[in-house]
Amino acid sequence: MSNSLHLNRRSIHSPMLFASLPQDVQDLLLAQAAEHRFADGQRIQYRGDNADGFWLIVEGSVSVGQFLADGEFRGMALLGPGDSYGELALFAHRPRVVDAVSRGDSRLRLIRSTLFEQAIAGRPDAMRPMLGALAGQLQEMLEVIGGLRKGTSRARVAGMLATLARDQEPPVEIDITQEELAELLGLSRATANGALRELAKNGMIERRYGKIVVRDPDALRLLALA
């Protein structure tokens, strides 16, 4: 029987800031942060908004990216429950540089900057893991940028699918469209479709409507490293 990733996995591996905080700090923030509900396709934040806090995903999934001038959305990452985002804009005191859209119904908590600053004040035990999480995200982003400059489209698609299917016993059903996968990798839909066709032909994946079933994640990882 398939293991479903129905909106509960993410496309990046580094730990998020919230998850790196001590448990008592997490509990305090959760107890005081207001909860917000969003419908499928509803925009959660806009590029250019003031960063008055960061978001924690409680339930559902969020696509982070940018809307282009023609209204097309270019996704950069898929995030799931337990993930947080928007911290960098908060720390830099700069407007947000990405849009965020709910995939399916979702519940999030907005952790305001004043609440966060009060919670970590005088807590050096929270600083090192927090900085480590942010540094890990930056390092991974640099690796992603480097990966976009090299490797075949097939290897890049294989690597992304292997990441989405990590820590799951195959077959793993990933709730992602072909278009979303192409957006995450900076590929055209036709190019992504060609790569998926080859992977399916080799038995590594199976394509279904709005989903991709990963049947051989180890083979995908090896292909991505080739």
How does pLDDT run across 186-198, given as a tens digit for each residue?
A: 788 999 999 999 9
2 occurs within a structural domain: no
181 occurs within a structural domain: yes
Nearest Cα neighbor of 164 from 3, 1, 53, 5 is 5
**Domain span holding position 139:** 7-147
Looking at the structure, tell me whether residues 138 and 79 fall in a common domain: yes
Residues 160-173 have pLDDT tens digits of: 898 888 778 999 99
133 occurs within a structural domain: yes
Full-prediction pTM beyond 0.75? no
**Amino acid residing at 95:** P
172 occurs within a structural domain: yes
Region 95-123: what's the mean pLDDT?
A: 92
pLDDT category of residue 226 using cuts at 50, 70 and 90: low
Looking at the structure, tell me whether residues 133 and 30 fall in a common domain: yes
**What is the structure's pLDDT at 11?**
57
- CA dist 33 and 56 (Å) reads 9
Looking at the structure, tell me whether residues 137 and 76 fall in a common domain: yes
Percent over 70 (pLDDT), the chain: 88
Looking at the structure, tell me whether residues 57 and 140 fall in a common domain: yes
Number of domains comprising the chain: 2
- CA dist 63 and 50 (Å) reads 19
20 occurs within a structural domain: yes
**Amino acid residing at 16:** M
80 occurs within a structural domain: yes
Looking at the structure, tell me whether residues 26 and 123 fall in a common domain: yes
1 occurs within a structural domain: no
Looking at the structure, tell me whether residues 128 and 184 fall in a common domain: no
Looking at the structure, tell me whether residues 98 and 124 fall in a common domain: yes
CATH of the domain at 164: 1.10.10.10
The domain boundary, picked from 97, 119, 147, lies at 147
CATH of the domain at 130: 2.60.120.10
Per the CB < 8 A criterion, the answer to whether 184 and 78 are in contact is yes
Looking at the structure, tell me whether residues 157 and 46 fall in a common domain: no
